[in-house]
């Protein structure tokens, strides 16, 4: 085989006569002295192969131009590239290296302006103007295309010095130490390179490694008298926040300058948050049931502080402490739910038979001049559903409705709505005047009161609850609607037109009248009509998908090439050709001998194409499949012919 996708492995065969030694040149920079070598071409392209056969004190070369044709893989390309430098002062020369898979053409946009700047594989570009540049590479082949975009890939600096600050911690407590590493690199040779760090008042700086610079503790300044080009240094120092530090965020600022070089700010991390809080619990609180045990909230600090507790924004009379490093507040979910002092727009509903509400508990930690809050946001519910079966609960604020009002609760407008909640809106006509809220429980499995799943593939189980059922007549004839969404990934696994919202009522699942209203790039949107509200499930009929074998990327070819040398009589003339040069190239007329054994007396290269093992297997399989199909077709046609002949014979006999 002389043609195939890379990596292409070729078996070369030497049939030279009287050759004492051989040298193969495979055309890709590789050579071999083996008689019958095997060589693998790793990149696409046309390769010229030369065989040198030596004997009787002379060497005869035979060359075949573009003998090996290595093609791309039969797959779309995957774009990728690298650069030799990303950040230097202007003018900056950058070498771009294409590292794409299976690409045959390239379009480079090296300055992010949307225009193609280069079409070669590995361009070199010089940036004259300082700035940050996006770089994109578009690659293509006969099977498709791909684009790689690197935002901020090239940073052309206005200043010859690169500086970057790194902090070992970005949040500390009063009196705590942390390390600062400041890396310096100059593109030029500089005199009196200086770094100045400006730290918050009252903080203490202790140098650890001055990296050969002279340090001035009064001004927090490091100076290198002579700084070599491309030299890299790292300053290391320790900062300590004072014990009486205020809480909040503080900033480090610094400059780098030198003779004949203007000052520029030090880059990198600069903000440090001072917090008194050492620990708090619970770490993750989302949901409480009314009947749960008392819930404890705890805060500990590194320094003595004052503690004040708030519930739903109202100050609590319990848990407050002065000059302490620890405070706690214990609340009963049921007491909290019944306490009118802590009601808000998500909790206050009359006639509430089934209730869920939003609550927040805040521990305020303060010293003489500032404070820091730790807040827990959670829900309290009277739902009978197990907390272990609830992924998320979404509660809408209480609203007052009037009798016969057309009411719509929109979950997409709720700030705390979760992405996994498929319910978008609920609408109905109010049967009476009153306050009402609604909440949805997104479940991990079917509701606890449900004994079995509905028919079909389940997308999601949901509980929908109303806090005041007197405003919604479930036994009336008024229509009630539920709008919901289903993601496209799941829709691709089910039969189109079979999506249903199912309602569980009286021990049975009831498929509801459901229709699709719209779709976009992410979701399909549906509306269902329901007589009331209870556990629901979104289902559809699953597509039965047969197993399909797919080709794998990275197939390779194998083959063979054979060389034939001269006859004996011709060989006797070799010595006479020594001074004339023995190199010869296969002419157009001589190329015909590449397809069969040559009997010509001239010295020539003969190539015998081998079969790709994978291609051969594929052809055999395809051949057997075609043979089987042809046999079946022939049998059917034969039967039809016999039946037709018999019918004609019967018709003729009846007419006689």
Beta strands per DSSP E along 356-398? 356-366, 371-381, 390-395
pLDDT of residue 11: 93
Which residues have a Cβ under 8 Å from the Cβ of 271 and sit 6 or more positions away?
170, 249, 250, 251, 252
The answer to whether the CB of 223 falls within 8 A of the CB of 194 is: yes
Q: Is the bond preceding 282 in cis, omega lying within 30 degrees of 0?
A: yes
CA torsion 227-232-233-234 (nearest 10°) is 150
The string of DSSP letters for 55-69 reads ETTEEEEEEEEEEEE
The string of DSSP letters for 195-240 reads EEEE--TT-EEEEEE-TT-EEETTTTEEEEEEE-TT-EEEEEEEEE
Determine the Cα–Cα distance for residues 234 and 26; give it in Å rounded to an integer: 50
Determine the Cα–Cα distance for residues 615 and 548; give it in Å rounded to an integer: 19
**Burial of 501 from C-beta contacts in 10 A (0-12 / 13-18 / 19+):** buried
The yes/no answer on whether domain 3-71+556-606 falls in CATH 3.30.70.3000 is no
Rounded alpha-carbon distances, angstroms, from residue 225 to 194, 208, 214 = 9, 20, 9
Rounded alpha-carbon distances, angstroms, from residue 370 to 245, 273, 364 = 9, 13, 10
The secondary element (H helix, E strand) that includes residue 449 is none
Neighbours of 125 (CB within 10 A): 18
Quote the tokens at residue 200.
Answer: 């918050």
The string of DSSP letters for 248-299 reads EEEE-EEEEEETTEEEEE-EE--EEEE--EEEEE-S---EEETTSPPEEEEE
Nearest 5°: phi and psi at 102?
65, 30
**Burial of 7 from C-beta contacts in 10 A (0-12 / 13-18 / 19+):** middle
The CATH superfamily assigned to 81-157 is Immunoglobulins (2.60.40.10)
The answer to whether the CB of 117 falls within 8 A of the CB of 185 is: no
The secondary element (H helix, E strand) that includes residue 436 is strand 434-436
Determine the Cα–Cα distance for residues 372 and 273; give it in Å rounded to an integer: 11
The secondary element (H helix, E strand) that includes residue 615 is helix 613-655
Q: How far apart are the first and last CA of the chain?
A: 68
Quote the tokens at residue 531.
Answer: 């007589």
Burial 566-575 (b: 16+ CB within 10 A, else e): beeeebeebe
The owner of tokens 């009314």 is: 290
Determine the Cα–Cα distance for residues 139 and 146; give it in Å rounded to an integer: 6
**277-381 matches 387-540 in fold:** no
538-596 confidence digits (pLDDT tens): 999 999 865 544 444 444 444 444 443 333 333 333 333 333 333 333 333 333 333 33
The owner of tokens 């003729």 is: 652
**DSSP assignment, residue 636?**
H
Domain residue ranges of the chain, discontinuous segments joined by +? 3-71+556-606, 81-157, 161-274, 277-381, 387-540
Nearest to 372 by CA among 314, 317, 312, 302: 302
Quote the tokens at residue 385.
Answer: 């559903």
Determine the Cα–Cα distance for residues 396 and 178; give it in Å rounded to an integer: 45
Determine the Cα–Cα distance for residues 506 and 512; give it in Å rounded to an integer: 15
The owner of tokens 């946009």 is: 109
Determine the Cα–Cα distance for residues 436 and 349; give it in Å rounded to an integer: 6
The CATH superfamily assigned to 161-274 is Immunoglobulins (2.60.40.10)
Per-block mean pLDDT, blocks of 10 residues, the chain (656 long): 88 89 94 94 92 89 92 91 91 95 94 96 95 96 95 91 94 93 92 96 95 95 93 95 88 94 92 92 91 94 92 88 94 85 72 72 88 92 88 89 91 88 93 88 94 95 85 69 96 95 94 96 95 93 66 45 38 36 35 33 37 41 50 77 74 64
Per DSSP, the three-state class of 568 is helix
Q: Pairing relation of β-strands 584-585 and 58-71?
A: parallel
Nearest 5°: phi and psi at 563?
-115, 135
Give domain 277-381's CATH number out of 2.102.10.10, 3.20.80.10, 2.60.40.10, 1.10.167.10: 2.60.40.10
pLDDT of residue 617: 44
Q: Pairing relation of β-strands 371-381 and 287-289?
A: parallel
Could you tell me what percent of the chain has a pLDDT over 90?
56
The answer to whether the CB of 145 falls within 8 A of the CB of 138 is: yes
Topology given in CATH for the domain delimited by 387-540: Chondroitinase Ac; Chain A, domain 3 (2.60.220)
271-327 confidence digits (pLDDT tens): 999 999 989 999 989 999 888 999 999 999 988 899 999 999 888 878 899 999 999
């Amino acid at each position: 085989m002389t043609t195939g996708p890379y990596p292409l492995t070729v078996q070369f065969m030497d049939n030279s006569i009287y050759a004492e030694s051989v040298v193969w040149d495979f055309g890709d920079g590789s050579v071999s002295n083996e008689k019958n070598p095997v060589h693998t071409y790793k990149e696409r392209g046309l390769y010229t192969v030369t065989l040198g056969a030596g004997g009787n004190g002379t060497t005869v070369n035979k060359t075949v131009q573009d003998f090996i044709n290595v093609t791309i893989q039969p797959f779309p390309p995957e774009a990728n590239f690298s650069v030799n430098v990303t950040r230097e002062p202007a003018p900056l020369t950058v070498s771009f290296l294409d590292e794409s898979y299976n690409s045959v053409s390239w379009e480079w946009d090296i300055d992010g302006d949307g225009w193609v700047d280069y079409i070669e594989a590995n361009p070199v570009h010089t940036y004259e103007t300082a700035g940050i540049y996006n770089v994109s590479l578009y690659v293509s082949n006969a099977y498709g295309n791909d684009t790689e975009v690197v935002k901020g890939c090239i940073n052309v600096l206005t200043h010859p010095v690169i500086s970057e600050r790194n902090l070992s911690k970005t949040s500390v407590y009063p009196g705590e130490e942390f390390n600062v590493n400041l890396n310096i690199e100059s593109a030029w040779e500089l005199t009196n390179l200086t770094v100045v760090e400006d730290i918050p008042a009252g903080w203490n700086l202790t140098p650890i490694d001055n990296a050969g610079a002279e340090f001035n503790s009064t001004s927090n300044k490091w100076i290198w008298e002579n700084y070599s080009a491309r030299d890299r240094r790292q300053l290391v120092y320790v900062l300590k926040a004072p014990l009486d530090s205020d809480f909040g965020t503080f900033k480090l600022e610094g400059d780098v300058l030198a003779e004949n070089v203007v000052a520029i700010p030090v880059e990198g991390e600069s903000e440090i948050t001072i917090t008194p809080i050492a620990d708090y619990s619970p770490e993750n609180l989302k949901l409480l049931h009314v009947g749960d045990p008392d819930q404890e909230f705890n805060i500990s600090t590194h320094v003595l502080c004052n503690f004040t507790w708030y519930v739903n924004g109202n100050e609590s009379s319990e848990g407050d402490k002065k000059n302490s490093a620890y405070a706690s507040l214990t609340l009963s979910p049921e007491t909290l739910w019944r306490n009118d002092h802590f009601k808000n727009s998500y909790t206050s509903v009359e006639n509430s038979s089934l209730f869920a509400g939003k609550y927040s508990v805040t521990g305020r930690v303060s010293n003489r001049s500032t404070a820091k809050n730790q807040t827990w946001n959670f829900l309290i519910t009277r739902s009978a559903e197990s907390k272990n079966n609830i992924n998320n609960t979404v509660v809408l604020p209480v609203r007052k409705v009037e009798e016969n009002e057309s009411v719509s609760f929109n979950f997409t407008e709720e700030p705390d709505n979760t992405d996994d909640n498929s319910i978008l809106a609920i609408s109905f006509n109010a049967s009476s005047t009153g306050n009402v809220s609604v909440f949805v429980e997104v479940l991990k499995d079917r509701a606890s009161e449900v004994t079995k799943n509905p028919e079909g593939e389940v997308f999601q189980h949901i509980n929908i609850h109303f806090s005041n059922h007197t405003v919604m007549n479930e036994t009336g004839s008024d229509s009630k609607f539920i709008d919901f969404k289903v993601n496209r990934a799941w829709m691709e696994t089910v039969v189109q037109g079979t999506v249903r919202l199912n309602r569980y009522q009286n021990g049975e699942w009831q498929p509801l009248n459901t229709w699709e209203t719209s779709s976009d790039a992410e979701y399909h949107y549906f509306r269902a009509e329901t007589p009331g509200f209870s556990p629901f499930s979104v289902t559809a009929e699953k597509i039965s998908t047969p197993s399909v074998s797919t080709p794998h990327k990275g197939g390779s070819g194998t083959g063979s090439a054979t060389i034939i040398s001269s006859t004996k009589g011709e060989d006797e003339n070799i010595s006479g050709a020594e001074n004339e040069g023995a190199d010869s190239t296969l002419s157009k007329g001589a190329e015909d001998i590449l397809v069969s054994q040559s009997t010509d007396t001239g010295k020539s290269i003969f190539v015998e194409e081998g079969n790709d093992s994978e291609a051969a297997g594929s052809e055999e399989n395809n051949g057997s499949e075609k043979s089987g199909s042809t046999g079946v077709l022939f049998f059917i046609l034969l039967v039809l012919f016999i039946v037709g002949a018999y019918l004609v014979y019967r018709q003729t006999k009846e007419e006689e």
